[in-house]
Amino acid sequence: MRAVVADGSGGPEILSVAELPDPIPGPGEVLVEVAAAGLNRADLLQRQGFYPPPPGVSEVIGMECSGTVAALGEGVEGWAVGDEVCCLLAGGGYASYVVVPAGQVMPVPAGVDLVTAAALPEVAATVWSNVFMVAGLRPDESLLVHGGAGGIGTFAIQLAHAMGARVLTTGGTPEKLAFCRELGADVAIDYREQDFVEVVRESTDGGVDVVLDNMGAKYLARNVDALALEGRLVVIGMQGGTKAELDLGVLLRKRGAVIATSLRSRPVEDKSAICAAVVEHVWPLVADGSVRPVVHGTMPLEQVREAHELMGSGSHTGKILLTL
């Protein structure tokens, strides 16, 4: 099979396409012929040597894909060869074929084409599990999501809006902020020109109920400042570093919570439960058009270097897909 391989760790120039043996599905696994693979920030970290795959997982980069079922491992039920699917992966997506635990295989939502479906698994699983399963966002509450024009952000804005919550977001250009408003953001904050804590306080009754944060250390104290009473901060990324100082007195006075989660390293059972919840609660909203995948563009697998350069630049809006 064709697959992207990395010659050590470093910049996009270390990536190339090579021939590797086809994977074979084991018990409880599904072999998927990949149509497209979605890029994620974690892919860049893996390429740089900062985020290795979990033990036993393919070294090939790629945490989500779409495609067709090519073969079934022993004991797999509910799927047939030829079914169109999209999958949440621990690795291996940048390849012609990938083996997936059956519980992490999901049907393509109605109305979504097979290539575009590759933009859904990671963002849907991340947003639903963190904003709704962990933070428990309710229809009468408010959400602040940082990086609203990215893959996670565009999906979080739409899903929270569809569920009846008030949405605030940050972005770095007027064009991105306008796009966030089109997706359903009630308040769009220019993080280059505005203090998001001040804007949050002015736009709410003193703070937001949930913050979905991809920055980590850089925003930790300010995110807590932006919380309402009994607010919940969920940290899912560390783009702004891993170490910060926090005044616990502020957190105590707000009766707030700081939660940090990761998805990739969770047990298969946990990820399967998240995928089942996504199919039950999120896919109907995608099917009726309330939530849509936002795709910046597609590139053939052979242009993986250019795709990584584009994602690293931060100039994109929504998801970048590699097609096979």
* Confidence label for 116 from pLDDT (cuts 50, 70 and 90): very high
pLDDT at position 253 is 97
181 and 304 belong to one structural domain:
no
Q: Position 110: which residue type?
A: A
| C-alpha span between 320 and 73 (Å, rounded) | 30
Cα→Cα distances 300→2, 15, 61, 321, Å: 12, 14, 15, 8
Look-up of token digits 């607010």: 231
- Which of residues 225, 260, 295 is at a domain's end? 260
139 and 230 belong to one structural domain:
yes
pLDDT at position 227 is 98
80 and 182 belong to one structural domain:
no
130 and 197 belong to one structural domain:
yes
pLDDT at position 58 is 95
Q: Domain containing 292: what range?
A: 2-119+264-323
pLDDT at position 240 is 92
27-57 burial string, b = 16+ CB within 10 Å, else e?
Answer: eebbbbbbbbbbbbbbbbbbbeeebebeeee
Contacts of residue 301, Cβ cutoff 8 Å, sequence gap at least 6: 2, 4, 17, 37, 94, 322, 323, 324
pLDDT at position 216 is 95
- Asked whether the CA dihedral 264, 324, 58, 307 is positive or negative, the reply is negative
Mean pLDDT of 306-323: 96
> What tens digit of pLDDT does each residue of 148-206 get?
999 999 999 999 999 999 999 999 999 999 999 999 999 999 999 999 999 999 999 99
210 and 314 belong to one structural domain:
no
252 and 129 belong to one structural domain:
yes
Q: Which of 319, 320, 317, 39 is nearest to 178 (CA)?
A: 317
Q: Which of 42, 87, 45, 43 is nearest to 64 (CA)?
A: 87
| C-alpha span between 154 and 120 (Å, rounded) | 11
Strand partners, 322: 37, 299
The CATH number linked to 198 is 3.40.50.720
- Asked whether the CA dihedral 107, 110, 115, 120 is positive or negative, the reply is negative
Q: What angle do the packed helices 174-183 and 151-162 form, to 10 degrees?
A: 30
- Which of residues 213, 239, 260 is at a domain's end? 260
- Which of residues 235, 260, 285 is at a domain's end? 260
| C-alpha span between 67 and 123 (Å, rounded) | 17
Percent of the chain, pLDDT > 90?
A: 99
The CATH number linked to 72 is 3.90.180.10
147 and 235 belong to one structural domain:
yes
Q: Which of 178, 260, 163 is nearest to 219 (CA)?
A: 260
107 and 172 belong to one structural domain:
no
> What tens digit of pLDDT does each residue of 68-84 get?
999 999 999 999 999 99
| C-alpha span between 247 and 313 (Å, rounded) | 33
| C-alpha span between 205 and 189 (Å, rounded) | 17
Number of domains in the chain: 2
131 and 255 belong to one structural domain:
yes
95 and 197 belong to one structural domain:
no
> What tens digit of pLDDT does each residue of 213-267 get?
999 999 999 999 999 999 999 999 999 999 999 999 999 999 999 999 999 999 9
Note whether 208 and 138 are within 8 A (CB). Answer: no
pLDDT at position 159 is 98
Which pTM was predicted? 0.96
